[in-house]
Chain A
C-alpha cells in the first residue's frame, strides 16, 4: 500500500530564512506527487505538482520541490520565507490509473516569525 510521511509536524522559522519541508513516500509503482497549502479555516490550494518531465517543479510564489525517485522524496523548499507563508502544508501522492485518489501526509505546520 502507498503511504506518505511528512517528517516534521511543525517547522518554526524566522522571516527571510530558508525552509525545507520534508516529504517521503512509499509505493511499489509510479506515483504523481503534489504539495497543497491550507490557510486557517480554508480549503486546500494546490501549490505545485510533479507528473512527469523535469524533476524540479516551481510554484508562482517562490516554492520549489524536487522529485527524487531513488530516495522516494519530494521535499518542498523556499529560499526566503515571508510571514504570509504561515500555513499548513500537505504532501500527497496519487497512483496512476486509480481514479485520482490522493493519499495525504499528516501535514507540516509552517510558522514564520518576524
Chain B
C-alpha cells in the first residue's frame, strides 16, 4: 500500500464548476500537508500548505485536512481554464521541505 494515495484522474469539468481533489494517507506522523500545481512541461509550484487539521482558504482555493480520517482535500471554486494542470498532494512529518511524500497527481482539465 502506498503511503499517500491520490486518484490520478483524469478529471474533466466545465468552466465555473467546483472541483474537489482528494488524497488519503496511512502515516499518522504526517503533520504538514501541501498541494502543488504542475503545468505541462513545468516543475511543480506550491499552491497551498496547512499544518495539522483544519481549513485554509486562499482566493478560489480551499485546503482541508482531516487527520482523524487521514484525508485531505483541495477545493477550487469558480474553476477557470487556467486551472487546468496536474495537482499533487504532498505531506511530511517534520517541518521544512525534507522528506516530502507525494501523491501520484490528478490531471485536471477545465473546459471553456
> Is the pairing of A and B real?
no
Chain A residues with a Cβ under 8 A of chain B: none
Chain B residues with a Cβ under 8 A of chain A: none
